[in-house]
Amino acid sequence: MQRGWTQVRLVKAMQDEAARRGMALAKSESLQANLSRWERDRQVPDQLHRRVLGAALDVRVEHLGLDVDPDFPW
């Protein structure tokens, strides 16, 4: 995990970032399950989750190895 964060800490940071922007994400358990799938390359996060993940980690989405849709409202 980047920065030595646990999944629980990253999920909380993602939820906080989404809330700061007036959005809501899935419940913690569901988001943690998704995060696990992303880490194991079983699934790729959608555009919303890519943006929230990047913002929570304070990195550009492209630096996470993910594509960004420039037309996605953020």
What is the pLDDT tens value at each position of the chain, 74 positions in all? 457 899 999 999 999 999 999 999 999 999 999 999 999 999 999 999 999 999 999 999 999 999 999 999 88
Instruction: Determine the pLDDT at residue 74.
Output: 83
Q: How far apart are CA 46 and CA 67, in angstroms?
A: 10
Q: What share of the chain is helix, strand, coil (3-state, %, to 5)?
A: 60, 0, 40
Instruction: Determine the pLDDT at residue 63.
Output: 95
Sign of CA dihedral 30, 66, 20, 5: positive
Contacting residues for 58 by C-beta, under 8 A, at least 6 apart: none
Instruction: Determine the pLDDT at residue 2.
Output: 54
pTM: 0.89
